[in-house]
Amino acid sequence: MLKGIEGRRVLITGATGAFGSAVARKFCREGGDVLLTGRSRIALEQLAHDLKGEFPAATTSCLTADLSSESGQSNLIDAMKDWGTDVLINAAAVQGPIGRSWENDWALWKQAFEINLYATIALCRAVVPGMAAKGRGKIINFSGGGATAPRANFSSYACAKTAIVRYSECLAVETQISGIDVNCVAPGAARTRMTQAILDAAGAAGEAEVTSVERATEGSPRILERAAGLCAYLASKSGDGITGRLISAVWDPWDRLHEKREELRTTDVYTLRRIVPNDRGLNWDS
């Protein structure tokens, strides 16, 4: 068992999705007090029932929340305000419109930001004061999917996820003195409703994207397990002091990051930064 999770209150958005439910399962296994949130009451109650069957000692509760609007976000914040969140995991996301950016439905392009960016920020803003009062807290925001490189035909999703990383970096600096760690997780590609939307979009998504998704999602169980494991690691004592980073669940050696904690404080590793020319192939003196 990871130290520092047992008894902690863990709020998970998008809990009924593939990644959200994998994260919920991991935190139940580690002894967390888990609050599941999502759009469907039926799906939430079924997940809670399944988790109770698998982990009889687990404590779970449910809150129905539609994060696609400011009012829905406010309703969730009001409902959870006295709960006392120790760990916030923002896993809720939608794919948004697929296709060339200038041909996307503009209303849908903007609406995707409500869930993929604004809901995440709203919940971070809501939990920080309580965490700061306790002198500890963990915030883990799901990113990836275009945050570190251009992702043609997925501009809304990619731009929102990039913004989440930069916001998380800012928040990490602002809250470090309060004992709060803020990080982003790039979970990898698994078989989810969102990747199915890519396959269904076919031509609009682009052949390379469809092929990449088909290949990547073959290892779905392992990828879901790695993403959930990374979230739990960051929420545990091992993750204390690791903050302001974008970490790949699939490719990075995250289970050893505590060994490099001090080095991470003074480097740009696992961050969004501009690459300066120097020795990168551009010689301005020639």
What is the DSSP code (8-state) at residue 175? H
pLDDT tens across 213-271, in order? 656 555 578 889 999 999 999 999 999 999 999 999 999 999 999 999 999 999 999 99
Average pLDDT over residues 9-28: 95
Question: Could you tell me the maximum CA-CA distance found in the chain, to the nearest angstrom?
Answer: 69
Average pLDDT over residues 24-38: 97
Q: How far is CA 121 from CA 18, 26, 28, 39, 268, in A?
A: 22, 24, 25, 18, 23
pLDDT tens across 104-137, in order? 999 999 999 999 999 999 999 999 999 999 999 9
Both tokens assigned to 33: 């007090």
- Check: CB of residue 242 under 8 Å from CB of residue 181: yes
So where are the chain's domains? 9-265
Please give the model's pTM, rounded to 2 decimal places.
Answer: 0.91
CATH class as words, domain 9-265: alpha beta
Q: How far is CA 221 from CA 61, 188, 227, in A?
A: 25, 11, 10
* pLDDT greater at residue 66 or residue 197: 66
First-to-last C-alpha distance (Å) of the chain: 58
Q: What is the pLDDT of residue 200?
A: 60
